[in-house]
Amino acid sequence: MKTSVIGYPRIGKDRELKFASEKYFRNEITEDELLETAKALRLSHWRVQKANGIDYISSNDFSFYDNVLDTAILINAVPRRYRELNLSELDTYFAMAKGYQGENGDVKALAMKKWFNTNYHYMVPEIEDDTEISLSGTKPFDEFSEAEKNGIKTKPDIIGAFTFLKLCRFTGNKKTADISDSVAKAYCEMLKKFNDLGAEWVQFDEPYLVRDLGDDDRSLFVDLYKKILSQKGSVKVLIQTYFGDVRDCCDEISTLDFDGVGIDFVEGKMSLEIADKIDSNKVLFAGVVNGKNIWKNSYEKTLSIISRLEKHFGEIVLSTSCSLLHSPYTLKSETELDETYIKHLAFAEEKLGELSDLKRILSSENPSQTEEYKENVELFEEDRDCDNIEVQEKTAALSEKDFERLPEFAVREKIQKSVFNLPVFPTTTIGSFPQTVDVRQNRAKFRRGEISAEEYETFNKKKIKDCVELQEKIGLDVLVHGEFERNDMVEYFGECLDGFIFTSKAWVQSYGTRCVKPPIVWGDVSRAKPMTVKWSVYAQSLTEKTMKGMLTGPVTILNWSFPREDISLKECAYQIALAIREEVLDLEANGIRIIQVDEAALREKLPLRKSDWKSDYLDWAIPAFRLVHSGVKAETQIHTHMCYSEFTDIIKDIDNMDADVITFEASRSDLTILDSLKENNFRTQVGPGVYDIHSPRIPSVDEIVSAVEKMLKKIPKEKLWINPDCGLKTRGNEETLPSLENLVKAANIMRQR
């Protein structure tokens, strides 16, 4: 039995790629220096896999920013506006990723979207009418050769043609059918190159196959791969799926001439039944080691899956369930974490160890008698000491009325209009202000014990004071304290709540050079003490204007943490909701009149298949949010914020969260959401972001005015708020101040009209 890894994290165990790229963006290092860092990282990632005896190691899983963007460039899907900048190859790449504002022009970045059900983001390829698809890049070939020079034979990993096409956005008249031939041709040429280079396997990632597919999708898929596989030569092709099961296309996968099929047995509910339908002469790459979560693999479970699969397949390769991109690097970096915890966990490097353990166990005469196996079974039988009976009783006692806020929305809306007396188009921000070097240094010093709690607080209070003054000067209507005390909107609450454990270096890439460090839900969750009250109360004491209290909602805390696998997500979400509810009531009791409960990540864990939406997710996610705020008074205004506005399909559920105001991203996704707000008589007041904070570009007043004009075509003026599309923490002060000034100017122009 052999082992395979779909992909490895690339940012570096100490986030070397992030720091090098950011230095490059600031012109502090040269292109060559950045390329060297990247090369060293690739080599170390291949070597650690080799050292763990992995048989099929991927190449081309590296990326400076994103693999979908890499694929777009590989086949020449570079929109005109980026070509016309006349930048170097690498800088054109970064212009597509981050936008560009400089001597050569001013262009926005490509749109960015969540990668299936993860917190990773990909760049949406744009196809213009004059885009000429053809194989034009060399990255996968270069990286394959680079590995080979270092004595490592890899299987190149490329986003497959079907998934690529499904993710493209067409900006002109062209449609998928107009370019599918040339896309297939480009992939044929790739295979030819890999034949010439002597590759044994090529892996095409096709996660889109786990979604609901229609007849058109199936014929596109078959059509593409008939063409591609007809040219494959002697190289073997692995079609790699992940994040679910392939129930809608298993016959097609089985019939097409793939040599290997990668199936996810962790997230794929029906994968076991489906596997039986696949041609048993194909090599099955069985995704059994979870690429997304951080818990040790249960060898007992895995062995039972494999023994069932062995009845059908002649050759099975043990694999990860998806790319390890979604896992942190290594437990070796977690020197602060106690062994009681460590022994239950596995990060990317330890998952490699699990694959090689499993390989050894499965090749022994008597697998269940091996040391590795017995040790693992014992571990799973151990009590993790994570129960809190009081919390369990509280969630068990919840009844319908705990999820119902009274009075109803329309009544509250009237009351709030009169108590707040805000102008039309109230302006606000989403919460955080730039986390400048001094802010991060202050926190780091405090953590290292170099400054006292008092010094730490004094500094943050000064920051809050400056931030409040700045907002007053700019003329915003509803203010925020700036979130300087938070490293991250989820990790902060994880650290304050009981039941979480946190890591020092468990970074996972979120987008580009941005990483997040999700806390781990270890046990039952409860609130030991107020978490945000003192900061909000202090901030409110500095101004006559209304200060928003700022919390992260239960669904987002859960979605951006590594969840437990021993209780349901619903149970866990309700536990967190009860803890946040206590904080909401505390803020209210301390004079905070607007409370924003961010559900930034609510949309992203919506199951990939429609039939699972309600039962697996919305039926507990929406109630969890309602539980948080159902206890407040009518005159307390509840806001929520969601990153990404792709919630057209669940618009009723969003309205049902029963918040008073919702702000969300809109500027990067051409405002299509507005139509569906209108169609659905969306009653919650809305603040669709008027500019994109993911890029350092400063939006002009005109640009904002025209965004607001567009919004007003679909949203009644009484319901519209004006705000950026997300928190400002990743931005610098240089661009934040002028951007917000322009936002307020635009609001004033609109008010005068």
Active-site annotation, residues: 694
Kindly state the number of chain residues that form the binding site for ligand GLN, as judged by CB under 6 A. Answer: 13
Q: What residue 69 binds from Zn ion, ligand GLN, none (CB within 5 to 8 A, per partner kind)? A: none
| Shortest reach from residue 727's CB to ligand GLN, in Å | 2
Nearer to ligand GLN, 642 or 698 (CB): 642
Comparison of 184 and 539: residue with beta carbon closer to ligand GLN = 539
Sign of CA dihedral 497, 501, 507, 510: negative
In terms of DSSP bridges, do strands 661-664 and 637-642 run parallel, antiparallel, or are they unpaired?
parallel
Residue 597 touches which member of Zn ion, ligand GLN, none, C-beta under 5-8 Å by kind: none
Q: Is 727 in the site for ligand GLN (CB under 6 A)?
A: yes
Q: Taking the CB of residue 378, how many other CB atoms lie within 10 A of it?
A: 9
State in angstroms the smallest separation of the CB of 514 from ligand GLN: 10
Nearer to Zn ion, 17 or 600 (CB): 600
Candidates 656, 613, 230; CA nearest to 404 is: 656
Decide whether 206 or 725 has the Cβ nearer to ligand GLN.
Answer: 725
- Site residues (CB under 6 A) for ligand GLN, limited to 484-513: 489
Residues in the site for Zn ion, rule: CB under 5 A? 600, 643, 726
Q: Is 600 in the site for ligand GLN (CB under 6 A)?
A: yes
**Euclidean distance between CA atoms 266 and 245, whole angstroms:** 9
Q: Residue 426 interacts with ligand GLN (CB under 6 A)?
A: no
State which of residues 154, 432, 460, 742 lies at the interface with ligand GLN (CB under 6 A).
432
Q: Which are the contacts of 601, defined by CB distance < 8 A and separation ≥ 6? A: 119, 555, 556, 559, 560, 643
User: Could you give the maximum distance between any two Cα atoms of the chain, in Å?
Assistant: 82
Contact by Cβ (8 Å): 405, 630: yes
One-letter amino acid identity for 154?
Answer: T
Q: Which is nearer to Zn ion, 509 or 723 (CB)?
A: 723
Contact between 114 and ligand GLN by CB under 6 A: the answer reads: no
Instruction: Pick one of 113, 155, 641, 694: the residue that binds ligand GLN (CB under 6 A).
Output: 641
Decide whether 265 or 560 has the Cβ nearer to ligand GLN.
560
Residues 70-89 close enough to bind ligand GLN by CB under 6 A: none
Six-digit token string for 663: 């702000």
Outline where 408-553 has alpha helix (H). 409-420, 437-447, 453-474, 491-496, 533-541
Distance, CA of 661 to CA of 646 (rounded, Å)? 17
- Judged by CB, which is closer to ligand GLN: 432, or 742? 432
Measured torsion, CA atoms of residues 577, 666, 96, 62, in degrees rounded to the nearest 10: 20
Determine how many CB atoms are found less than 10 A away from the CB of residue 285. 28
User: 160 and 206 in contact (C-beta within 8 Å)?
Assistant: yes
Residue with tokens 């353990």: 357
Segment interacting with ligand GLN (CB under 6 A) among 166-174, 403-411, 426-434, 607-615: 426-434
Q: Return the number of other C-beta atoms located less than 10 Å from residue 305's C-beta.
A: 18
- Indicate whether 743 belongs to the interface with ligand GLN (CB under 6 A): no
Residue with smaller CB distance to ligand GLN, 483 or 586? 483
Whole-number minimum distance, CB 490 to ligand GLN, in Å?
A: 9
Among 345, 451, 515, 550, binds ligand GLN (CB under 6 A): 550
Neighbours of 619 (CB within 10 A): 12
How far apart are alpha carbons 73 and 126 in whole angstroms? 11
Query: What are the strands of the beta sheet with 685-688, ordered from one edge?
Result: 478-479, 546-552, 594-598, 637-642, 661-664, 685-688
3-class DSSP state of 431: coil
* CB 430 to Zn ion: min, Å: 6
Which of these segments, 51-59, 302-310, 521-529, 724-732, binds ligand GLN (CB under 6 A)? 724-732
In eight-state DSSP terms, residue 53 is T
Stretch that binds ligand GLN, among 71-79, 602-610, 654-662, 726-734 (CB under 6 A): 726-734
SS3 91: helix
| Strands of 22-109, DSSP E | 57-59, 100-102, 105-107
Q: What is the 3-state secondary structure (H, E, C) of 634-670?
A: CCCEEEEEECCCCCHHHHHHHHCCCCCEEEECCHHHC
Nearest distance in Å: CB 642, ligand GLN: 7
The reply to whether 688 sits near ligand GLN by the rule CB under 6 A is no
- End-to-end CA gap in the chain: 72
Span near ligand GLN by CB under 6 A; candidates 257-265, 344-352, 429-437, 560-568: 429-437
> Is residue 431 a contact point for ligand GLN (CB under 6 A)?
yes
Q: What HEC string does 324-346 produce?
A: HHHCCCCHHHCCCCCHHHHCCEC
Integer Cα distance of 563 and 565 in angstroms: 6
Among 666, 704, 726, 746, binds ligand GLN (CB under 6 A): 726
Rule CB under 6 A: is residue 725 a binding residue for ligand GLN?
A: no
* Cβ 641 to Zn ion shortest distance, Å: 6
Residue nearer to ligand GLN on the CB measure, 345 or 726: 726
Residue 487 CB, nearest distance to Zn ion (Å)? 16
| Nearest residue (CB) to Zn ion, 464 versus 643 | 643
Q: Which of Zn ion, ligand GLN, none sits in contact with 551, Cβ below 5 to 8 A by type? A: none
Q: How far is the CB of 209 from ligand GLN (least distance, A)?
A: 30
CB of 430 to ligand GLN, least distance (A): 4
Q: Cβ closer to ligand GLN: 356 or 723?
A: 723
Site stretch for ligand GLN (CB under 6 A), options 202-210, 469-477, 534-542, 725-733: 725-733
CB-wise, 451 or 478, nearer to ligand GLN?
Answer: 478
Spatial neighbors of 25 by CB under 8 A, at least 6 apart, are: 94, 98
Q: Are 707 and 425 in contact (CB under 8 A)?
A: no
**Among Zn ion, ligand GLN, none, what does residue 729 contact (CB within 5–8 Å per kind)?**
ligand GLN
CB of 99 to Zn ion, least distance (A): 18
483 near ligand GLN, rule: CB under 6 A: yes
Q: How far apart are CA 100 and CA 92, in angstroms?
A: 9
- The answer to whether residue 654 forms part of the interface with ligand GLN (CB under 6 A) is no
As measured in angstroms, the least distance from the Cβ of 506 to ligand GLN is: 19
Contact present, 673 and 666 (Cβ < 8 Å):
yes
Residue 145 tokens read as: 């050769």
Nearest residue to ligand GLN by CB is 727
Q: How far is the CB of 451 from Zn ion (least distance, A)?
A: 31
**Burial label, 175 (beta-carbon count in 10 A; 0-12, 13-18, 19+):** exposed
d(CA 202, CA 195): 10
Q: Interface with ligand GLN includes 602 (CB under 6 A)? A: no
What mask of x and - would describe binding to ligand GLN in positions 551 to 590, judged by CB under 6 A?
A: ----------------------------------------
| Residues within the interface to ligand GLN (CB under 6 A) | 430-432, 483, 489, 550, 598, 600, 641, 643, 726-727, 729
